[in-house]
Structure 1
Amino acid sequence: MSIDLYSPFVPAGIALLALLCALPLGRFVPLPDSKGRATSIDGLRGLLALGVFVHHSSIWYVYARSGEWKAPASALYAQLGEAAVALFFMISAYLFYRQIASGVTDWTRLYVGRVLRMLPLYAICVVLLLLLVLIESDFHLVDPLFRFGVGVIQWFSFTVLGAPDINGVVGTRYIMAGVVWSLPYEWVWYSVLPLLAYFMRQRVRRGLLLLSALGLAYAAVRLSWVLMLPFVGGVAAYYATTRMAVVSFLRGKWGSILAASCMILSVACFDSARHPAAVVLWSVFFAAIACGNTLFGLLTLRVSAILGELSYGIYLLHGFVLFLAYKGLGAVVFADLSPASYWALTATLLLPLLIACLVSYRCIELPAMLSRRSVLEKIQVVSEVLIARWRILLRPERVD
């Protein structure tokens, strides 16, 4: 049986192989206590990251031959990436909207937690990106120093300020498979949470409302509102979880059938998961997961949970693995691979990718997450000192 570039069997094979690879790695991945957690969502994350990996792998095959980075010419492969990112947006929307809807929001804790979760590995990735850029340019400074410095700052801003080519390396973003485009959308969502809390009649400081206003202004100028629709889907999923009749239906067998049907319909009817109607279908799918549907038990497997813990690393690091494979084989050899040979190569990259993600999780991500309490305590001490000094400055001098 011949395998073409967009064979429907490849994603399933990659997912199965990843689950098998995760088994021996699982002993090194401490899983969080499932109490109070949306375990189906935890299991979903890893599969979504794998979808992005397969999506970008198919793009790389075409890019190596044509030099054009474009969406796959297959609805299935296009939506493996597009729907995965949309579902990541829905997950963020659901989890944080649920948190503020509870009425108890420690904004310092929330934002410090987000920074500690997202920044450490991302910063390491930017450093690695810059190193590869310098290697590509033979360690010669091609750009003027000022432009180079501005570009570095833009990349360290989670690309909120842009993701330019650095030092004359065309397609710098493709070293990371272009995944950085989604990060500004995440941060805009985090920025508007105080405004949503205000609409829920919660007390919110003016500074946080100003942050929300800045986030909305940035979104209006720089982002696509169509690509922000999945956040609405995540909020809708929260309200679905507050209706017991809906939860009872969506978490059962018929909910699994409905969720699977939504996936099939989206791929069958739309070339892109970004079509508004496709977003609705994927929102229904996610609502089922948020209500506890396990997709016939797949999402609550231990290996699914393991991949879920590694999902951020898979998302950020898989582009490097594909880029290094391209450079290691050489452009000519890489471009001459048949689709079957290419997918065989891609399969061999899974284990190194997962090992890299495990190392990043244990050495970078987990320590940063565990440091949140100590960081918050230090912030509290510093803020108390600053407030005390400010009060001293404002205290009127006594005139004897």
Structure 2
Amino acid sequence: MLIDLYSPFVPAGIALLAMVCALPLGKFVPLPDSKGRATSIDGLRGLLALSVFVHHSSIWYVYARSGEWKSPASALYAQLGEAAVALFFMISAFLFYRQIAGGVTDWTRLYVGRVLRMFPLYAICVVVVLLLVLIESDFHLVDPLVQFGVGVIQWFSFTVLGAPDINGVVGTRYIMAGVVWTLPYEWVWYAVLPLLAYFLRQRVQHGLLLLSALGLAYAAVRLSLVLMLPFVGGVAAYYATTRMAIASFLRGRWGSILAISCMILSVICFDSARHPAAVALWSVFFAAIACGNSLFGLLTLRVSAVLGELSYGIYLLHGFVLFLAYKGLGAVAFADLSPASHWALTTALLLPLLIACLVSYRCIELPSMRSRRSVLEKLQVVSEILVARWRDLCRSERVG
């Protein structure tokens, strides 16, 4: 049977192959203690990142032929990316809202943890983007130096300040498959958390409330409020977990059937997962996972957990793999690939991608996450020194 560009068998095949690859790679991935963790969510992450990989691979096929970076002309393939991102947003909303609802409000620990989790690998990705941009422009400075520097700063800001083309390379963001657009949404959510804690009748410092106000103002001016709906779905999922009857139903076999039905209905009824009704369906799907549903055991497999640990790397690095394949084959040869050949190439790229993610996890992500305690201790020492010096300065001014 011929494989067309939007074959429904391709995503399943790539997910299955990824799980097979994760068997030997998993020996090098230490899994966190499952106590207190939403293990089904951990298992979901890896499948979502792989979905984004397949989604962007289909976009590259069209982009190589038309020069247009656009959503796939298939509801299934469009939602492989859109729904995956929506579910990533729901995961963030659920986990951090659950944390503040439980009264855990060590904001320094929370924000330092987020920076240490997200920034090191992202910063290296930006450096690689800059290197590839310079290679594309033959190491000539095309933009004025100030414009080049401002662009670099914008990229290092998690693109909160923008993601411009660098040094005249059109479509710089496509080197990373355009995934960076989601990062400002994540950081706005983190900024809004203190305000949500305040609404939950917790004591919150005024400076943190100001941060929330700035986050909301930024969202109103720069972001799409429709694309923030999944965060509401994640909060709703938290409340579903607190209702024993609802959680028990969603955790069981009928909950699995309901979750899968919502997923199928979204693909059948909507061209995009960004439609509010589609977001509602995916929110029900996620609520089941948040309540502990493993989709008949799929999400609690060890290989699913391994892919979940590698998911951030898969999300950030898959764009480089696709871009380098495009450059390695050459634009003409890449554009001449048949759909079957394109998917064969994508499948061949999977193992190198997972190996790169394993290396990044072991060498960059894991050491950074494990450094949180020492970083917090150093910040505490620095803050105590600054406070002491400020007090000394105030005393000297009074004496003077």
User: Aligned partners of 2:366 and 2:399: how far apart in 1?
Assistant: 56
**Secondary structure, counterpart of 1:397 in structure 2:** helix
User: Aligned partners of 2:221 and 2:114: how far apart in 1?
Assistant: 24
Compute the displacement of 1:397 (Å).
6.0
Counterpart of 1:219?
219
User: Aligned partners of 2:200 and 2:256: how far apart in 1?
Assistant: 32
Counterpart of 1:188?
188
Counterpart of 1:348?
348
**TM-score (norm. length: structure 2):** 0.99
Compute the displacement of 1:395 (Å).
2.1
**Secondary structure, counterpart of 2:272 in structure 1:** coil
User: Aligned partners of 1:224 and 1:120: how far apart in 2?
Assistant: 27
Compute the displacement of 1:394 (Å).
1.5
**1:64-88 per-position Cα deviation (integer Å, ceiling 9, x unaligned):** 0000000000000000000000000
Compute the displacement of 1:186 (Å).
0.1
Q: Cα distance 1:381–1:344, how it changes in 2: closer, same or farther (>3 A)?
A: same
Compute the displacement of 1:391 (Å).
1.1
User: Aligned partners of 1:2 and 1:370: how far apart in 2?
Assistant: 48
**1:1-39 per-position Cα deviation (integer Å, ceiling 9, x unaligned):** 011000000000000001001111000000000000000
User: Aligned partners of 1:168 and 1:387: how far apart in 2?
Assistant: 46
User: Aligned partners of 1:101 and 1:274: how far apart in 2?
Assistant: 27
User: Aligned partners of 1:276 and 1:367: how far apart in 2?
Assistant: 39
User: Aligned partners of 1:241 and 1:391: how far apart in 2?
Assistant: 47
**TM-score (norm. length: structure 1):** 0.99
User: Aligned partners of 1:107 and 1:218: how far apart in 2?
Assistant: 20
1:381 aligns with 2:387: no
Counterpart of 1:88?
88
1:289 aligns with 2:325: no
Compute the displacement of 1:392 (Å).
1.3
**1:82-141 per-position Cα deviation (integer Å, ceiling 9, x unaligned):** 000000000000000000001121000000000000000000000000000000000000
User: Aligned partners of 1:371 and 1:240: how far apart in 2?
Assistant: 34
Q: Cα distance 1:399–1:91, how it changes in 2: closer, same or farther (>3 A)?
A: closer
Q: Cα distance 1:388–1:269, how it changes in 2: closer, same or farther (>3 A)?
A: same
User: Aligned partners of 1:104 and 1:313: how far apart in 2?
Assistant: 28
Counterpart of 2:26?
26
User: Aligned partners of 1:82 and 1:360: how far apart in 2?
Assistant: 25
**1:344-394 per-position Cα deviation (integer Å, ceiling 9, x unaligned):** 000000000000000000000000000000000000000011111111112
**1:235-289 per-position Cα deviation (integer Å, ceiling 9, x unaligned):** 0000000001011100000000000000000000000000000000000000000
**Secondary structure, counterpart of 2:399 in structure 1:** coil
User: Aligned partners of 1:96 and 1:214: how far apart in 2?
Assistant: 19
**1:216-239 per-position Cα deviation (integer Å, ceiling 9, x unaligned):** 000000000000000000000000
Q: Cα distance 1:399–1:248, how it changes in 2: closer, same or farther (>3 A)?
A: closer
Counterpart of 2:8?
8
User: Aligned partners of 1:69 and 1:103: how far apart in 2?
Assistant: 44
Q: Cα distance 1:82–1:397, how it changes in 2: closer, same or farther (>3 A)?
A: closer
User: Aligned partners of 1:200 and 1:260: how far apart in 2?
Assistant: 33
Compute the displacement of 1:62 (Å).
0.2
User: Aligned partners of 1:399 and 1:114: how far apart in 2?
Assistant: 43
User: Aligned partners of 2:154 and 2:65: how far apart in 1?
Assistant: 30
Matches within 5 A, 1:27-176: 27-176=27-176
1:360 aligns with 2:384: no
Q: Cα distance 1:251–1:395, how it changes in 2: closer, same or farther (>3 A)?
A: same
Runs of 4+ residues over 4 Å off in structure 1? 396-400
Compute the displacement of 1:201 (Å).
1.0
User: Aligned partners of 1:212 and 1:21: how far apart in 2?
Assistant: 42
User: Aligned partners of 2:374 and 2:61: how far apart in 1?
Assistant: 45
| Uncovered stretches (5+) of structure 1, i.e. residues with no partner | none
Q: Cα distance 1:399–1:81, how it changes in 2: closer, same or farther (>3 A)?
A: closer
Compute the displacement of 1:148 (Å).
0.4
User: Aligned partners of 2:156 and 2:70: how far apart in 1?
Assistant: 25
Compute the displacement of 1:398 (Å).
7.0
**Secondary structure, counterpart of 1:78 in structure 2:** helix
**Secondary structure, counterpart of 1:159 in structure 2:** coil
User: Aligned partners of 1:387 and 1:311: how far apart in 2?
Assistant: 40
User: Aligned partners of 1:309 and 1:121: how far apart in 2?
Assistant: 14
User: Aligned partners of 1:126 and 1:71: how far apart in 2?
Assistant: 24
User: Aligned partners of 1:245 and 1:70: how far apart in 2?
Assistant: 42
User: Aligned partners of 1:352 and 1:15: how far apart in 2?
Assistant: 15
Compute the displacement of 1:184 (Å).
0.1
User: Aligned partners of 2:389 and 2:130: how far apart in 1?
Assistant: 41
Identical-pair percentage: 90
User: Aligned partners of 1:162 and 1:273: how far apart in 2?
Assistant: 24
Q: Cα distance 1:41–1:398, how it changes in 2: closer, same or farther (>3 A)?
A: closer
Compute the displacement of 1:396 (Å).
6.0
**Secondary structure, counterpart of 2:193 in structure 1:** helix
How many residues align structurally? Answer: 400
